[in-house]
Amino acid sequence: MQTTKLIISPARPEETPVIYDFIHQMAIYEKCEEDFVTDEETLYSSLFVQHAAECLLLREEGCESVIGFAVFFHNFSTFVGRRGLYVEELFIIPEKRGMGYGTATLRHLAKIAVERNCGRMEWICIDWNLPALSVYRAIGAIPMDEWTIQRMNEQTLKQFAQGE
């Protein structure tokens, strides 16, 4: 488990290239690199101008290099009647996995959710990522197996909006 202290801090605008690189690494890990279409300028604008989401960077105490990141934003549950915290990405570099950093990051995010009076915290996980799924079960997360994610990519969305 974790022996070195994990430092979790909000990302700064000048760290956009680091965030971009981590998102690219995550796309490769999840075998969906073809869906990785953002660029640093768009990412910068989304995170630091539009504030569409928030980003945390993870470092080990005493080290400058980033070992992981988390991106989250608020959604809303009509059933709960309050906003929730949705974790879009959580990624730790392979050589630092299994050290408790993912659990520590989820706990940090849970504290943010509680401080902001969120009614729930949610995220998705690819079904073949068994190490992550075992962590999620261990911390009490409940799989929503009866639900399926529905998605329209940008092209499909535009075609549908135009009545095509």
Tell me which residues are annotated as active site.
136
Q: Which amino acid is at 71?
A: V
Structure tokens at 114: 């509680």
Q: What CA–CA distances, in Å, run from 77 to 93, 122, 125?
A: 32, 11, 20
Max Cα–Cα distance, the chain, nearest Å: 56
CB-side exposure of 31: number of CA atoms within 13 Å? 5
